[in-house]
Amino acid sequence: MDAIPARLDVARIRQDFPILGTQVRGRPLVFLDSGASAQKPRAVIEAMTRCMETAYANVHRGAYHLSEVATANFEAAREAAQRFLGAATPEEIVFTRNSTEAFNLVAHSFGRALLKRGQVVLVSEMEHHANLVPWQMLRDAGLGIGLRFIRVTDAGELDLDDYARHLAQGDVGLVSVTHMSNVLGTVTPAARIARMAHEAGARVMFDGSQAAVHRAVDVRAIDADFYAFTGHKLYGPTGIGVLYGKRELLDAMPPFQGGGDMIETVTLEHSTWAAPPARFEPGTPAIIEAAGLLAAIEYVNAIGMEAIEAHERALVEHASATLAQVPGLTLLGAAQDRGGVFAFSLDVAHPHDLSTFLDRRGICVRAGRHCAEPLHARFGLEGGTSRASFGLYTTPEEIDALAEALVAARKFFA
C-alpha cells in the first residue's frame, strides 16, 4: 500500500466530516464521488449556522450594525477567494451560483460585447457541458462567432499540436478549456495554454472546478484571463461559485443580468452600471453560502494545498496500480499528469447496474456520461462509464474496497 504523506493526517481529517462516520445499507460509507460534490467539514456547517444565528442581514444596503457585520463577513469571503486564486485585488472576484453560471456570464457578457464577428471560441473535446453549451448558444445567436474544438489524444491529453494549428488560423478570440478533466483526471498545462493563446492574440478561460480542489492555483502565474470554480466541490456549500476575471476585462464587459445592487443610477428611462464586481452580482447574494465558502477555503488552507496534492498523488498511484489488476476493467485516459478522477468500464456490466451493485456495498461512485457526452463519444463509450473521484479524506483502503467490489461485481454479472 502506498504511504500517505505524514503531513496529512487522513484519519484525523475524516473526523471533521460527520457524514463519513455513517453507514449505507448497513455498511460503512465509502464515498468516491467527490468530483461531483464533496462532503462538508464541521467548520463549514458551523460557519453557516453561526451566520444565520448571529450575523445575518442583507449586505451592502443596511445602514445598521448587523448589516455592516454581514457585509464585512461577505466581503471577507471575496478576499479569501482572491488570495486562494492569487488574484491581484478582490474586485477581480465575482461571486456566481456555480461554475456553470460563470461560463454563461462570460459567454453572454464578454462573448457578445467583446468578441468580433468572424472570431472563434476554441474549446476542447474533453470539456464539461458547462464549458461547451454556453459557447454553442453564443455561436447560434447570429453574431457571426464560430466554435471549434481541440482534439484529445488517445492518452486523454490535450493535443497541443492541434491547438497550435487552430491558433495559427488567426481568428481565435477566446480559448476556454478545463484545467483538470472531470472524466479523465487529465491536468492540462495551463500556463503553456495561456501563453500560446496570448501570443495568438486570444484571451483564455479555465474551468477550475476540479483543479482548484486538488492543486494550488495562481491565476497570475498562469496568466489566465478568466478562471472559474465552484464552492460545493471545495468542501463548501452549493449555490456559490467564483469567477476570476482580469480587472480591465471586467471593466469593459456589460452586465449579465439586471436588477438591484448592480447599478450606479436608475431612472425610468435609463440605468448606469456599478463597477465590477457588483456589476455582475444583481439581487440579494448567497450570504450564508459565502460564510460557508470562507470556512471551506480557510479549512483547506489550514491543511495546505501542498499536502493535499501530495496525498492525492499517492492515491492516484495506488488507484492506478490497484484498478489495473481488476479483470475486465478498462480505465479511461492515461495522461502523464492526472488528478484523482478515474472513469472506467467493466466488460460485463452497464455503468448504472454496476453503480447499483456497488451501492449495496456502501460504495458511492458516479455512473453515466458525467456531463461530458462528446468526450465519451470520442472514446466510443456512448453508454457512459463509472467514475470514482477522490477528496482529501479518501484513503487507500477505500480504493482497495472498490477494487474488491469490482471483482465481485464481475463474478456476479458474468
User: Would 3 be classed as within a structural domain?
Assistant: no
User: Would 329 be classed as within a structural domain?
Assistant: yes
Give the three-class secondary structure for 135: helix
The answer to whether residues 70 and 37 belong to one domain is no
Cα 171 from Cα 160, distance rounded (Å): 17
Region 330-341: what's the mean pLDDT?
A: 95
Cβ–Cβ < 8 Å for 232, 38: yes
The answer to whether residues 340 and 294 belong to one domain is no
Cβ–Cβ < 8 Å for 126, 99: no
- Which residues are catalytically annotated? 371
Give the three-class secondary structure for 252: helix
User: Would 311 be classed as within a structural domain?
Assistant: yes
Last residue of some domain: 240, 268, 301?
A: 301
Last residue of some domain: 301, 330, 365?
A: 301
Q: What is the pLDDT of residue 309?
A: 95
Strands 203-207 and 226-230: what pairing?
parallel
Compute the Cα dihedral for 369, 375, 380, 382 and give only its sign.
Answer: positive
pLDDT at 185 over 80: yes
The answer to whether residues 316 and 383 belong to one domain is yes
CATH classification at residue 126: 3.40.640.10
pLDDT at 395 over 80: yes
Q: What is the pLDDT of residue 3?
A: 45
pLDDT tens, position by position, 252-305: 999 999 999 999 999 999 999 999 999 999 999 999 999 999 999 999 999 999
Q: What is the pLDDT of residue 245?
A: 98
Round the average pLDDT of the chain to a whole number and report it.
96
Q: What is the pLDDT of residue 73?
A: 97
pLDDT at 1 over 60: no
The answer to whether residues 357 and 246 belong to one domain is no
Cβ–Cβ < 8 Å for 74, 287: yes
The answer to whether residues 112 and 18 belong to one domain is no
The answer to whether residues 269 and 392 belong to one domain is no
The number of distinct structural domains making up the chain is 2
Counting every residue written for the chain, the total comes to 414
User: Would 223 be classed as within a structural domain?
Assistant: yes
First to last CA, the chain: 29
Cα 13 from Cα 188, distance rounded (Å): 29
The answer to whether residues 141 and 62 belong to one domain is yes
Region 211-224: what's the mean pLDDT?
A: 97
pLDDT at 357 over 80: yes
Cα 92 from Cα 78, distance rounded (Å): 9
Cα 320 from Cα 24, distance rounded (Å): 26
Q: What is the pLDDT of residue 61?
A: 84
User: Would 4 be classed as within a structural domain?
Assistant: no
CATH classification at residue 30: 3.90.1150.10
User: Would 1 be classed as within a structural domain?
Assistant: no
The answer to whether residues 90 and 199 belong to one domain is yes
Given pLDDT bands bounded at 50, 70 and 90, which one contains residue 137? very high
Cβ–Cβ < 8 Å for 235, 41: yes
The answer to whether residues 373 and 238 belong to one domain is no
The answer to whether residues 141 and 206 belong to one domain is yes
Angle between helices 351-359 and 396-413 (to 10 degrees): 120
Q: What is the pLDDT of residue 8?
A: 87
Sheet of strand 341-346: strand arrangement: 329-331, 341-346, 385-389, 366-368
Query: Percent of the chain at pLDDT above 90?
Result: 96
The answer to whether residues 236 and 322 belong to one domain is no
The answer to whether residues 179 and 153 belong to one domain is yes
User: Would 260 be classed as within a structural domain?
Assistant: yes
Last residue of some domain: 250, 276, 301?
A: 301
pLDDT tens, position by position, 31-86: 999 999 999 999 999 999 999 999 999 999 888 999 999 999 999 999 999 999 99
Q: What is the pLDDT of residue 5?
A: 45
Domain span at residue 207 reads 46-301
Region 187-207: what's the mean pLDDT?
A: 98
User: Would 254 be classed as within a structural domain?
Assistant: yes
